[in-house]
Amino acid sequence: MGSAQQLHLGVALDGAGHHPAAWRVSDVRPSALFTAAHYLAHAKLAEAASLDFVTLDDTLALQPGGEEVVRGRLDALLIFAAIAPVTSGIGLVPTVTTTHTEPFHISTAVASLDFASRGRAGVLAVPSRTEAEVAHFGRRTLPSEVDAEAENAEVVDVIARLWDSWEDGAIIRDEPSGRFIDREKLHYVDFEGRFFSIKGPSITPRPPQGHPVVAVYGDSPYARGADVVLVDEIRGARERFPDAKLLAGLSIVLAETEQAAIDRRRALEAYAPFATGGLTFTGTPADLATELPRIAASNSLDGFHVRPAVLSDDLALFTAETVPALQAAGAFRQAYTGATLRDHLGLGVAANQYAEA
């Protein structure tokens, strides 16, 4: 693990929760799912518990399913930009799809989120793999899975180059001479890849973190190079991604007794199957706190990407009871010790590849 017995914890703030029927059992009104206030309230819960970051899912197509599932979504990056000024510690990692989005736009948008959050931004880079998304744009055919993942990796490479295209000291604001920037500290990217040809420099100065945190899902052979890899298959994951912060996806259904948690899960599954992917836990917050360090240690994990089955219920129990138990055991921080998401994750300062040259 990245640091002795200290877990990293992120939480998904998707809709009413990870279970497709969460909206039917939650106290949250469906209309609230399309407000920034909904995501702010749950981000504040995560922040009060000193969690590393929150994520928000996004695609360029409607969620699959019929009338029984939540359909429609707000733009993840814009929602996090809206709540960034009124949060102070929690990392903000929106999903950004890369197949139909120019890397130049991604780099400036995520850099802007880093400025808005004062260094707490990340990006979960995900390719688009549906015909519906292709049809929305009409500019290309559906890429193969391998090509989509390769393009996603190229986007991750390019956006880092664009963040580096301004050195940290590029803005000098020298009023007597009238020079706002030091032109010698702006760099052309001159990137020629398989999918993109990009000149640069960026129009946005280097973000506060240098590099906002880049996360990817670990089901791709091209996932190397990201700061954080989210995995559902934990067997052999450390060997596949030796240098990344490795967080396992974990779906949770919590209650004050194990039987009550089982009953909650059965009630959800009476509406729809729980296709969780990754690890699942159904039980008490205290038992979950006991299990997490054991699972992490035995699989060389750095932590978990927690997916509350019903966001309002399971996140509340997780932050109020599981996290304090982890803190008491020395397995999670008592409070934030740094100001940025890179600080939370122990990633260190991002070197500027052009400044070093």
- pLDDT tens, position by position, 145-203: 999 999 999 999 999 999 999 999 888 887 888 888 888 889 999 999 999 999 989 99
CA distance 133 to 274: 25
CA distance 349 to 259: 46
pLDDT of 357 reads: 52
Tell me: pLDDT of 85 over 90.
yes
pLDDT of 72 reads: 81
Tell me: pLDDT of 66 over 90.
no
pLDDT of 4 reads: 44
Cα-Cα-Cα-Cα torsion 55, 56, 57, 61, nearest 10 degrees, comes to -150
Q: Assign 2 a pLDDT band (cuts: 50, 70, 90).
A: very low
pLDDT mean across residues, the chain: 92
CA distance 181 to 279: 50
pLDDT of 177 reads: 81
User: Highest-confidence range of 55-69, 123-137, 223-237, 290-304, by mean pLDDT?
Assistant: 290-304
CA distance 357 to 352: 9
pLDDT of 339 reads: 97
pLDDT of 1 reads: 40
pLDDT of 75 reads: 95
pLDDT of 356 reads: 64
CA distance 149 to 156: 11
CA distance 46 to 90: 7
Domain ranges of the chain: 11-350
pLDDT of 3 reads: 43
Cα-Cα-Cα-Cα torsion 281, 285, 289, 294, nearest 10 degrees, comes to -20
- pLDDT tens, position by position, 316-327: 999 999 999 999
DSSP state letter for 216: E
User: Any idea which of 79-83, 235-239, 280-284, 337-341 has the lowest mean pLDDT?
Assistant: 235-239
CATH of domain 11-350: 3.20.20.30
Q: Assign 88 a pLDDT band (cuts: 50, 70, 90).
A: very high
303-336: string of b/e by CB count within 10 Å (b at 16+)?
A: bbbbbbbbbbbbbbbbbebbbbbbbeeebbbeeb
